[in-house]
Amino acid sequence: MAFEQTPAERREVTVRRAPKYVPFLILGALVGAAVAAAVAYGLPGDESFERGSVFGFFLVMFGAGGAVLGAVVALLLDRRSVKRQKRAIVEAVPDSEPDDGTQP
């Protein structure tokens, strides 16, 4: 049972390196948490507030701000990758065995 050789299909595609957004968001939030810890525990504070509650307040503020800054950096890198994209021609390669629907 021989199968026919069909001519390979060629298409033009764009190739670029795009950043993954989640690592930038996580890194920004971690940097924000480190800044929150430095502000809450490193600076002299008011005696009427516990340092843990001050840290929690600053953690929310600086963590969210760091995540936003990480997203902005990822967007800027993504825009830069659009400018550096390249075009390539790809060719479909047929399988060596036809797919007849049976599994080994």
**Mean per-residue pLDDT, 8-24:** 86
8 A C-beta contact, residue 31 and residue 100: no
| Position 6 pLDDT exceeds 80 | no
Q: How far apart are CA 77 and CA 24, in angstroms?
A: 11
* Token output for 18: 């795009």
Instruction: Please tell me whether the overall predicted TM-score, pTM, comes out greater than 0.85 for this model.
Output: no
Which has the higher per-residue pLDDT, 17 or 3?
17
Return the minimum-mean-pLDDT range out of 29-33, 68-72, 85-89. 85-89
8 A C-beta contact, residue 90 and residue 51: no
Q: What are phi and psi of 41, to 5 degrees?
A: -105, -15
